[in-house]
Amino acid sequence: MPDKEMYALQLQQVEEAIKTVRGKKFNAVYMIACGGSKSTFGPAQYIFDSESDLPAYVLTSNEFNYRKPKQFTPQSLVLTCSHSGNTPETVQATQAAKDMGCVTICLSNKIDSELWQAANHGVYYGWGDYNPAYGKSAMLYRMVFGVLNELSPNERFVRAIKHIDALETLVPKNKDLFAQRAAAWGKEHKREPIIYTMASGEYYPEAYSFAVCLLMEMQWIHSSSIHSGEYFHGPFEITDYDVPFLMFMSRGKTRYLDQRALNFAQKYSDKVTVIDAQEFNLGDIEEDLQSYFAAIIMTPVARQYADSIADHRGHPLSVRRYMWRMEY
Nearer to its own copies, 220 or 288 (CB): 220
Q: Is residue 244 within the footprint of its own copies (CB under 8 A)? A: no
Q: Which residue, 106, 109, 98, 88, is CA-closest to 17?
A: 106
Q: Is residue 213 within the footprint of its own copies (CB under 8 A)? A: yes
Q: Which of residues 78-117 bind its own copies (CB under 8 A)?
A: 87, 89
Q: Is residue 324 within the footprint of its own copies (CB under 8 A)? A: no
Residue 129 CB partners (closer than 8 Å, separation 6+): none
Q: Which residue, 322, 319, 301, is CA-closest to 310?
A: 319
Q: Quote the least distance from Cβ 6 to its own copies, whole Å.
A: 27
Q: Which of residues 183-202 bind its own copies (CB under 8 A)?
A: 193-194, 200-201
| Rg, C-alpha atoms of the chain | 19
Q: Is residue 260 within the footprint of its own copies (CB under 8 A)? A: yes
Q: Quote the least distance from Cβ 72 to its own copies, whole Å.
A: 9
Q: Is residue 218 within the footprint of its own copies (CB under 8 A)? A: yes
Q: Is residue 55 within the footprint of its own copies (CB under 8 A)? A: yes
Q: Which of residues 130-169 bind its own copies (CB under 8 A)?
A: none
Q: Is there a contact between 106 and 118 (Cβ–Cβ < 8 Å)?
A: yes
Q: Quote the least distance from Cβ 130 to its own copies, whole Å.
A: 22
Q: How far is CA 145 from CA 33, 100, 193, in A?
A: 20, 25, 40
Cβ count near 214 (within 10 Å): 23
Q: How far is CA 230 from CA 91, 233, 243, in A?
A: 34, 5, 17
Q: Show the beta-strand stretches assigned E in 46-120.
A: 56-60, 76-82, 103-108
Q: Is residue 222 within the footprint of its own copies (CB under 8 A)? A: yes
193: DSSP letter? S
Q: Give residues in contact with its own copies (CB under 8 A).
A: 27-28, 34-38, 46, 49-53, 55, 60-63, 66-67, 69-71, 87, 89, 193-194, 200-201, 209, 211-213, 216-218, 220-227, 229-230, 232-240, 252-254, 256-257, 260, 264, 268, 320-323, 328
